[in-house]
Amino acid sequence: MYRALIRPLLYLLPAETAHHLAFGCLRLVAAIPGVSSIMRRAFHRASGTSRVRALGLVFPNPIGLAAGFDKDAIGYEALGALGFGFVEVGTLTGRPQPGNPRPRLFRLPEDRALVNRMGFNNRGSADAVERLRRPRKTIVGVNIGKTKAVPEPDAIGDYVASARRLGPHADYVAVNVSSPNTPGLRDLQATDKLRPLLQSVREALNEVSPARHVPLLVKIAPDLANEDVDAVADLALEIGLDGIIATNTTVRREGLRSDPADVARCGGGGLSGPPLNDRSLEVLKRLKSIVGDRMVLISVGGIETAEQAWERIRAGATLIQLYTALVYEGPLLPSKMAKGVAQLRQRG
């Protein structure tokens, strides 16, 4: 029904408008008394027995929603009711910001891909606190990034402010230094800059949540050179990071099937979807070869099927994240994929 009827109607709208409409409808339906519980029972039952113990938590299944879909933590329970094992909200910044001018989200249907140059549009980390402190049924990770207007020398303070606000209410915190849409952000992936940033965020989380260890992860770009991927892995081990999320979107455009004119109309920004699959898998394998079983690896980028998710798990991922595939396949995808992974796991 989604691919035959709903998706064609949504695709008549600009991509960002369609996103807000679909997400708003989901939240509206889930807000009807009793509906969210019915959805959760139905979709999580369909996902089979696929619990995962990681980060001190028990995930109902390994299929999560990547950051960027629910930027302001306004609908994570509705998304969790669809069958996601966890939802990562954000990216949230220290200060509210509007993001880049529209249009800033584009579809490339021939590649089943998206291009976004959103620019961390969000209401700011302080605004999300009240919603995240509510009792919830969904495991929620919180992705934090740098406010665009904050100069690089003040970046650590910006991240720390968000960590202090959100850490007590997050099941884990992910430091985003890999979006291509905030000028200079990816420079923070250099280990000489990343080390003090992650150490400062870790100290802040320990201070605001002394009774509970808040897991800390870092999200990296697929465009890092292999030696830089290795350096991040070594640093993560050195400072005792809980995990790495690999990978964010790419600025590369090689090998696309879409008409070059359509690609050009998208302009700059991050490409997501199947064109990212091979590199994301390659980065995962490199990380696994270094960190082994000493930390959690969350794999994201180009995953569309249970078979691909299972391949990532066998390559070393503990958990999986989706985003672009949800746009192309619709709301039944998370429970379908979780069920498929459970079946593949049973077969060995």
Instruction: List active site positions.
Output: 179
Residue 45's Cβ-count burial label (10 Å; 0-12, 13-18, 19+) is exposed
Give the Å distances, CA to CA, from 335 to 65, 79, 269: 12, 11, 30
CA distance 309 to 173: 23
CA distance 198 to 140: 20
